[in-house]
Amino acid sequence: MTVTNNVTRMLDAKKVNYAAHPLPDEKLSAQEVADFLHLPAGQIFKSIVAVRTGPGKPVLAVIPGDRELVLKLAAAVLGEKKLKVASHDQAESLTGLQTGGISPLALINKGFQILLDRAAEKYATILVSGGQRGLNLELAPADLVNLTGARLAVLTDPTD
C-alpha cells in the first residue's frame, strides 16, 4: 500500500530519497513502531513539541525513540532559561497534526524551530513521522536537516 500526502509529494518534488513505511493507523509509541518494523528503537525518531516560557517560536525536538528529551539541554541550545513540553492538546493545536503524526517535515515554514538530536548522525537513515498517524518516512539525517533547517544538538542523555 502506497501512502501519499503533502509530505511525500514535497519529498518527491524535491527529489529526496526516502522510503515510506505504512503502519497501523492508531497512535503508536516509538518502541511499538520499532517492533513493527523490526528496527532498533534508537533509529525511530519521535517529535516532542516544546514551548518557551517567554515569547518566541514553538520548538520541535526530534529525538531517538528510546530516549527522553532533556529540557535543560534543549533550552541551552536555544539560549533560553526554560522550556516546557506541550500538553497533548497544545501540541495538536500548535502543529495542526494529531499526536503520533507530528512530523518535522510537515512543519516546514510553519513557524517552528526544529532541533535534531545528534544521535541521528550515527545512522545512515532515520525514521520520522510522515505527517499523519500510520506513516513513517525513512531518510538520511542530512536530508532532514537540509529540508527543515533543523539544528543538530545533544538533546538527550546518551546513557539512556
pLDDT beyond 80 at 30: yes
Is 114 a domain residue?
yes
Separation between Cα atoms, residue 63 and residue 157, nearest integer Å = 11
Nearest alpha carbon to residue 32 among 104, 114, 116, 127: 127
pLDDT range class, residue 131, cuts 50, 70, 90: very high
| pLDDT for the residue 91 | 94
pLDDT beyond 80 at 160: no
Domain count, the chain: 1
Exposed e or buried b for every residue in 95-115, given b needs 16+ CB within 10 A? Answer: bebebbbbbbbbbeeeebbbb
Is 1 a domain residue?
no
Is 47 a domain residue?
yes
Amino acid (one-letter) located at 106:
A
pLDDT range class, residue 105, cuts 50, 70, 90: very high
DSSP for residue 87: P
The mean-pLDDT minimum among 23-32, 45-54, 64-73, 147-156 falls in 23-32
Is 76 a domain residue?
yes
Is 59 a domain residue?
yes
Q: What is the CATH number of the domain that holds 12?
A: 3.90.960.10
Separation between Cα atoms, residue 18 and residue 59, nearest integer Å = 24
pLDDT range class, residue 26, cuts 50, 70, 90: confident
- Which residue range is the domain that position 100 belongs to? 6-130+137-153
Q: What is the pLDDT of the chain when averaged over all its residues?
A: 93
Report the pLDDT averaged over residues 92-119. Answer: 94
Exposed e or buried b for every residue in 118-130, given b needs 16+ CB within 10 A? Answer: ebbeebebbbbbb
Is 158 a domain residue?
no
pLDDT beyond 80 at 46: yes
Is 67 a domain residue?
yes
pLDDT beyond 80 at 114: yes
Is 50 a domain residue?
yes
- Cell numbers representing residue 99 in the block: 499526536
CA atoms within 13 A on the CB side of 37: 27
| pLDDT for the residue 29 | 86
Do the bridges between strand 83-85 and strand 45-52 make them parallel or antiparallel, or are there none, so unpaired? antiparallel
| pLDDT for the residue 1 | 52
pLDDT range class, residue 20, cuts 50, 70, 90: very high
Report the pLDDT averaged over residues 89-118. Answer: 94
